[in-house]
A and B are shown apart, each in its own frame.
Chain A
């Protein structure tokens, strides 16, 4: 993989490590412990990212927030990519009225609707919780994957090796999953990596608006929302969660770009 791709992979790896190992070193009590006398304390050796308005340790909350962000990202991407993959395969391969219904109708309905607005409406309707948040993001997330896979299938199905498989007597399922899918899935892997960044941002946006994970579970978006009113007295409340989010999104985007190049056989040295 190229250098930027490797940097992205390193950032993502570091983040995963933080989300997995961090909570083993920091107890949940430390996340919610309030030292109100020391509210807004700036970063120090004891509290590397300082304390927030309730005297809670921001570093501990950022670490636990990484867990929430990654969980949301991974589940949303897995679920929406799977749904998108199946619908895209079906739409592109079967064609005809099914394609007109899925791609011509459903894709456009979902694309025409502002995604984040739909997510807000979904969460507002169902109530704020981790599950509902993930559900809302999947509802808007699958279309991109489906469209991508459909376009890939339309391209790959015209190759002679697909016709050869049919001439050999292969079933549709075999043609689809052994011959078309492996040749169609690469961009999806790239898209999934970029989608992680998108899902994490979307989670933060919803949490910022108060539609994310309810307190006291720490989320970067909710932390930023809290920090908004205290920017003058506690700059570190804004800077550290925002920096983590930026780093995370950057990491996944770099990884996605690196994967795009790395997975293209024509650009890979053999």
Chain B
């Protein structure tokens, strides 16, 4: 890939949620860079803060601190009116296709909504555009007059994707877009997203709770644990040479069709610690099979080993 100006640069993003009894550090100093055309997979267990990262980047949640530079503009410095304009260039596809469509809007109106909001076209041209978008995502244009409840989960997800595409944004946050779908439908949606990436030169931030889904889809992967990025690497490198013990455990948890190939490591023990009282030092040390004394006291920084492979572990080679 040519090193051009990054499309999106997130620097030391922090989001703390005050709750009764303390503060939840949902996102703790997360930095990432997306170049045009890249697909960055953000992976982690439920509750690790990956969804918050996605929503904070779109400023659907206001970050506590950090910088978000999108197309050279500092998003956090934008006034509401300017932010609404920038929203044309960044969209989101949600996890739950049942909650992400307004049940009282016909899907044609739902897809036309962004065009109306940004005052694009006439009612007639918008109808044509809706039909085109429905075709692009593989739905019959005649469906435009139907209501969301008349569709299956996969079809609704296609509608959600059409809505996100309506303004031709260069950047889309896909927030676990397939985890609520049947396995057979998951592949269809992933293929659709991949086709659209080629067709519209899209850049994705693809959020997923498992590594299996992202392997063939993402160019780069970031693994999150307890609000922090613990490892960032190009996909092939991450899969062949995972350096963080958490990433290694995640990779081993991917089901393998052939039982004789099983790698013999014990699965990751324990649960994600409460984000209200995270462990001292490295957040992963209570579950880490190779933790040493140093891990309990001092949190390792995310260090680049020079080959574009970043890892936050004292013991990573």
In the complex, A179 Cα to B94 Cα: how many Å?
17
Question: A164 on the interface (CB 8 Å rule)?
Answer: yes
User: How many A-B pairs fall under 8 Å by CB?
Assistant: 63
Q: Which residues of chain B in 126-155 are interfacial with respect to chain A, using CB atoms and an 8 Å cutoff?
A: 149-150
Is B99 within 8 A of A167, CB to CB? no
User: Which B residues are CB-close (under 8 A) to A178?
Assistant: 102, 105
In the complex, A161 Cα to B88 Cα: how many Å?
17
Question: B163 on the interface (CB 8 Å rule)?
Answer: yes
Is A164 within 8 A of B163, CB to CB? yes
Question: A163 on the interface (CB 8 Å rule)?
Answer: yes
A172: nearest chain-B partner, CB-CB: B80
In the complex, A169 Cα to B85 Cα: how many Å?
7
Is B103 within 8 A of A168, CB to CB? no
Question: A269 on the interface (CB 8 Å rule)?
Answer: no
User: Which A residues are CB-close (under 8 A) to B167?
Assistant: 168
Q: Name the one of B85, B92, B149 contacting A167, with C-beta atoms under 8 angstroms.
A: B92
Question: A228 on the interface (CB 8 Å rule)?
Answer: no
Is A265 within 8 A of B149, CB to CB? yes
Question: A38 on the interface (CB 8 Å rule)?
Answer: no
Is A160 within 8 A of B94, CB to CB? yes
Is B102 within 8 A of A168, CB to CB? no
Which of B111-119, B196-204, B253-261 forms contacts with chain A? B111-119
Is A168 within 8 A of B117, CB to CB? yes
Q: Name the one of A167, A171, A179 contacting B91, with C-beta atoms under 8 angstroms.
A: A167
User: Which B residues are CB-close (under 8 A) to A182?
Assistant: 102, 104
Q: Name the one of A167, A174, A183 contacting B104, with C-beta atoms under 8 angstroms.
A: A183
Is A166 within 8 A of B60, CB to CB? yes
Is A169 within 8 A of B84, CB to CB? yes
Q: Which residues of chain A in 173-191 are interfacial with respect to chain B, using CB atoms and an 8 Å cutoff?
A: 174, 178-179, 182-183
Q: List 12 A-B contacts (CB under 8 A).
A: A160-B95, A161-B99, A161-B101, A163-B94, A164-B94, A167-B58, A168-B114, A174-B117, A179-B102, A179-B105, A183-B103, A270-B149
